[in-house]
Chain A
């Protein structure tokens, strides 16, 4: 596609517009220097605009043209004369003159030729677009620009990340729970006494005798570990609460204060006989629970057990009485989901035990009807369940 030449009427019109403008300026319609005032105002408002430097090549070309004209050898002075003997006088003088001047003129010519050639070569180079694009330099320039742009972008990204990190930290701070009361006091009040817990976990400790070494996550006051120690089962535990962990250590138990998953991750693969979490997984986020189950499968030796005890969400009684007492409970974990999780993580066998039946004096009275049986099954199902997953 080529552009059509502008029509003559069009050029006439532009000329006419220019004349009208001149007329307005002359007649004082516009104040003097209007355009430059407007321009400087806009520059001040809009900011500096790039000034295109004057292209001085046309001037150099013009100088070159003049030089070329000047190089033309001027016609020698005429030697003819109307006076008698004038011709001979002129010729003699011309000879004398040229003996003196010819070498100088020759030098001037040579100088002019050389200057002309140099100027022409320089101008040709200046006019050649390729001459300004030294490939290596361009490449370096390009790389430099890319790095600068990248650095700019990274700087923007990092300040953005910093702000985001601050927001996240603030959100984290608001979400985290740091109670003024001690965890021991809470456990004593709501979890039951040490003696009651020991009794509750005696049978579990008996079962774990054949599963050494046992690792308990969230061991609390160490009831289970103590039972295992009495049975001579090598065992250790981890507890997030420093005071509880210190209490355990004071009683001679091998307990560290740390995050359970972090400690578990550091254990050698296939090194544990059992991993136990009693009333712990309801404190974990769904993501952490997934990570835990997969990690446990890696750390247990073949035949090892993952034991998880947690409130049973199928019993509505649990929600009325126990579950919401602990403000750090996240979500109840459904037994069907936990079983699914175990199997998906690669455990061979998964079995569930139902624990803590609702006390008879609080459960629905069984009047022998189907209705009371059905209501009882939903409202007063066992309060806890324990899942055994076998590696």
Chain B
């Protein structure tokens, strides 16, 4: 064995899974020469991440592969099926396809294909790791056993150590009302519709000057268009669907935010909440999927059946109550320690040592 290699489906600069794989690369380099391979590699990462179609020798080396499971991909499935060396699945979660069944059937099929392929890998894999307790249970439901939790290797300094984009910072600091911030892709399972409804109640009945920013890529264009229409229909002029923003702009948003909020129905980890912790911003979330694992006692978690009214009530309570807000901010900042990068690296090494 010359080293442990990693395989991701898509490698892009702002993607949390790619970030995790790149960080893991530094850890694995301590073991031996290690390669990071992706099926789809963004141009800016060429050189650092090899493209799968050019890395034909990877399968024949019989070196262990750590596969970051996040979505289905035909070529990746073929490659893994042919791989004869040790295989560790590191599970970031595959969103259940039902969330996309009516919005993007082709994408839903990819997700479904990914999950059923993962179920098949259960028989082939040498070992399995998951980035959260929730994901570990999910993986067990797919037929894996003895799944170890190996937390995501997070680089929050990417945002905290840089200078925020000053015009954006200037803008958010001079808003005439508190800023609620949602960070994440604009996709059905993140329930931006529920968030917009709660925000609608908040500005209609309680805090008319509140602002809402939804920052994150809008890859599903029709869905994003529907969200824009919903926001227009509800007449929410202070709601801004900001789309994909730079790290510097995101840092400015976090600095200016009164609350980081999510109504997401499905998360394998939810990185933006940890970013909120890095900025000490109070967190309000609905406790779905892995969110309770990630947030712990670091935020206000509502029960999974919470509707827009209860979410609005929670936002209002945090905005109105200084003590509660400060308490949540302090808890958010304290919770960051649970996602310590060095601890996560130690977990990764000890898990790999035990599994290989």
Contacts and interface: CB of A to CB of B under 8 A. Distances in A.
B178 to A, nearest CB: 18
Contacts, number: 133
A55 to B, nearest CB: 14
A139 B300 CA distance: 42
A129 B143 contact: yes
Contacts of A49: 102, 188
Contacts of B197: 38-39, 42
Interface stretch (A17-25, A105-113, A274-282, A363-371): A17-25
A320 B298 CA distance: 82
A13 B331 CA distance: 15
A142 B102 contact: no
Contacts of A50: 98-99, 101-102
Contact of B102 (A35, A47, A130): A47
Nearest to A50: B98
A35 B197 CA distance: 9
Given A1-B293, A14-B302, A148-B109, A47 B74 contact: no
Interface in A167-209: none
B310 A13 contact: no
Contacts of A83: none
Interface stretch (A4-12, A236-244, A254-262, A305-313): A4-12
Contacts of A38: 197, 200-201, 308
B280 interface: no
B296 A142 contact: no
Interface string A116-151: 000000000000011001010011011001101110
A146 B74 contact: yes
A46 interface: yes
Size category, B interface: 35 or more
Contacts of A3: 133, 292-293, 296
B149 interface: yes
Nearest to B265: A49
A154 to B, nearest CB: 11
B119 interface: yes
Nearest to B343: A1
A18 B182 CA distance: 23
Contacts of A97: none
Contacts of A16: 317
B314 interface: yes
Given A133-B143, A138-B120, A145-B116, A35 B313 contact: no
B116 A142 contact: yes
B102 A149 contact: no
A174 B149 CA distance: 63
B106 interface: yes
Interface stretch (B27-35, B58-66, B226-234, B252-260): B226-234
A7 B230 CA distance: 36
Instruction: Say whether chain A's binding surface is mostly helix, strand, loop, or mixed.
Output: helix
Contacts of A138: 116, 119-120
A145 B112 contact: yes
A176 B338 CA distance: 68
B143 A145 contact: no
A48 interface: yes
A127 B286 CA distance: 27
Contacts of A10: 297, 300-301
B307 interface: yes
B143 A42 contact: no
B282 interface: no
Size category, A interface: 35 or more
A142 B113 contact: yes
Interface string A42-66: 1001111110100000000000000
B77 interface: yes
Contacts of A21: 309-310, 313
Given A48-B102, A149-B109, A20 B296 contact: no
A4 B151 CA distance: 15
Contacts of B196: 42
B98 A45 contact: no
B325 interface: no
Contacts of B116: 138-139, 141-142, 145
A96 interface: no
A337 to B, nearest CB: 34
A30 interface: yes
Contacts of B106: 149, 152
Given A13-B300, A14-B302, A47 B226 contact: yes
A10 B318 CA distance: 13
A284 to B, nearest CB: 35
Interface in B202-239: 205, 223, 226-227, 229-230, 233
For B119, B123, B188, B194, the residue with the greatest tally of chain A CB atoms inside 10 Å of its CB is: B119
A2 interface: yes
B54 interface: no
B355 to A, nearest CB: 17
Contacts of B229: 45
Nearest to B194: A42
A230 interface: no
A48 B120 CA distance: 31
Contact of A1 (B149, B227, B301): B149
Contact of A145 (B72, B120, B309): B72
A17 B310 contact: yes
A39 B305 CA distance: 13
Interface in A59-85: none
Interface string B232-272: 01000000000000000000000000000000000000000
A47 B103 contact: yes
B6 to A, nearest CB: 21
A14 B102 CA distance: 33
A36 to B, nearest CB: 9
17 contacts: A1-B149, A3-B293, A10-B300, A10-B301, A24-B309, A35-B308, A38-B197, A45-B226, A46-B230, A49-B102, A49-B188, A129-B141, A130-B143, A133-B143, A142-B117, A142-B120, A146-B77
| A-B residue pairs, 10 tightest by C-beta | A145-B113, A50-B98, A142-B116, A48-B102, A3-B293, A17-B313, A45-B230, A42-B193, A146-B74, A38-B197
Given A1-B338, A13-B300, A152-B109, 6 more contacts: A10-B297, A39-B308, A42-B230, A49-B188, A52-B98, A150-B74
Interface of A: 1-4, 6-7, 10, 13-14, 16-18, 20-21, 24-25, 29-30, 34-35, 38-39, 41-42, 45-50, 52, 129-130, 133, 135, 138-139, 141-142, 145-146, 148-150, 152
